[in-house]
Amino acid sequence: MRILLIEDDPMIGKAVLDVLRSDHYACDWVRDGVAAEAALVAGPYDLVLLDLGLPKADGLTVLRSLRARRDTVPVLIATARDAVGDRVAGLDAGADDYIVKPYDTDELLARVRALLRRSAGRGEPVISHKGVELHPATREARLHGEPLSLSPREWALLEPMLQRPGAVFSRAQLEQKLYGWKDEVSSNAVEVYVHGLRKKLGADFIRTVRGLGYVVPRE
Ligand code: CA
């Protein structure tokens, strides 16, 4: 899952980036409203974490133009404790949830998981399909009830596919789930992780669709 972090405070930004990355999210960080707009247009992201007080263009402006483009990406706004008006304005401008600064990192990660779950149309916290279970809250994976060891990148590749069985993902789409802008991407990275996952889950669990990409079949 790929997250855009929009935060102008260098210390908060660095800390949040580290938290998100160590929880296996691919993450890009921009520090002002204009860079945020450019990143959002370039996209796609699975979630946006938006500070409202930003240089060049404030967070509400960024949010309003995002929703004016009919972009439905989940947006979590970060606001100051006493700023009730900001939270109301943010939610009314199209934010999906808010978190109060300074926030606890466990709460941040839980809100991120909840928003990703909702945007995938899932109520239950576990992602499961054909004997494979992913538990995003604990980062535990199971295969037919037995513990399954997945690397962070294998997890990052499998999670979106498992959420949408039958949907074909192109190599570029999967790369976007795996990497931020600054990560080094080797040209055959996706093939390597698909190969690793097939060894663990069975050769047919992920099928290649010639010329299009990869699919986890529905049946
Ligand atoms: Ca700020």
pLDDT tens for 185-197 read 788 899 999 999 9
Q: What letter represents residue 98's amino acid?
A: Y
CATH fold label, 127-215: Arc Repressor Mutant, subunit A (1.10.10)
Total-model pTM: 0.91
pLDDT of 183 strictly over 90? no
- Model pLDDT, residue 81: 78
Ligand 1 centre to CA of 65 (Å) is 19
Q: Is-contact 99 51, C-beta < 8 A?
A: no
- Model pLDDT, residue 179: 86
Mean pLDDT throughout 158-178?
Answer: 94
What are the sequence ranges of the domains in the chain? 2-119, 127-215
Q: Report the DSSP pairing between strands 26-30 and 2-6.
A: parallel
Ligand 1 centre to CA of 133 (Å) is 38
Confidence band, pLDDT 50/70/90 cuts, at residue 95:
very high
Ligand 1 centre to CA of 102 (Å) is 12
CA distance linking residue 10 with residue 21, whole number of Å:
16
- Model pLDDT, residue 187: 81
Q: Is-contact 52 9, C-beta < 8 A?
A: no
What is the residue-averaged pLDDT of the chain? Answer: 94
> 188: burial class by Cβ within 10 Å (0-12, 13-18, 19+)?
exposed
CA distance linking residue 171 with residue 59, whole number of Å:
32
Ligand 1 centre to CA of 52 (Å) is 6
- Assigned architecture for domain 2-119: 3-Layer(aba) Sandwich (3.40)
Could you give the 3-state DSSP secondary structure of residue 78? strand
Ligand 1 centre to CA of 20 (Å) is 18
